[in-house]
Amino acid sequence: MADAERNTQSGDEFAMTLAKSPPLRDLAYLKWQRTQRCLICGRKGDDQMSVVAAHIGTAGRGLKSSDSETMPLCDDDHRRAHTWGEIGFLRNNIPNTILREMIRAWCRMNYEIWKGEG
């Protein structure tokens, strides 16, 4: 492909690419996520509070998103994410260190797409 024809995906195009894949299911991964610290507040589950594997958005057609598109959230932050809306909640609460790594991963993926390997 000529350099002039190469292009990176816009955010909307990227979201559409992901939506085309059937949702992945992996109960073992969800179970492991429940043993992790909450992505937002860092707490681990105990007798008073649990950590859940929170799915991001939906996969369309009314399906829950892939189990690989989950993050560990404590009950309190999971409830806040649903009450406030997950994107607004994450935008205001996700730690900067995590946000930086997410953007770094998106940049790497976009580079691979640009190279024709994505």
Of 31 and 79, which CB lies nearer to Zn ion in the complex structure? 79
Of 54 and 74, which CB lies nearer to Zn ion in the complex structure? 74
Rounded-to-integer distance, Cα 117 and Cα 8, Å: 12
Of 36 and 110, which CB lies nearer to Zn ion in the complex structure? 36
CB of 41 to Zn ion, least distance (A): 3
CB of 78 to Zn ion, least distance (A): 8
CB of 54 to Zn ion, least distance (A): 10
CB of 51 to Zn ion, least distance (A): 8
Of 59 and 73, which CB lies nearer to Zn ion in the complex structure? 73
Q: Which residues bind Zn ion (CB under 5 A)?
A: 38, 40-41, 74, 77
* Per-position DSSP letters for the chain, written without gaps between them: --GGG--PPPHHHHHHHHHTSPPP--HHHHHHHTTSPPTTT-PPP-SS--EEEEEPSEEETTEEPPTTSEEEEEHHHHHHHHHH-HHHHHHHHS-HHHHHHHHHHHHHHHHHHHHT--
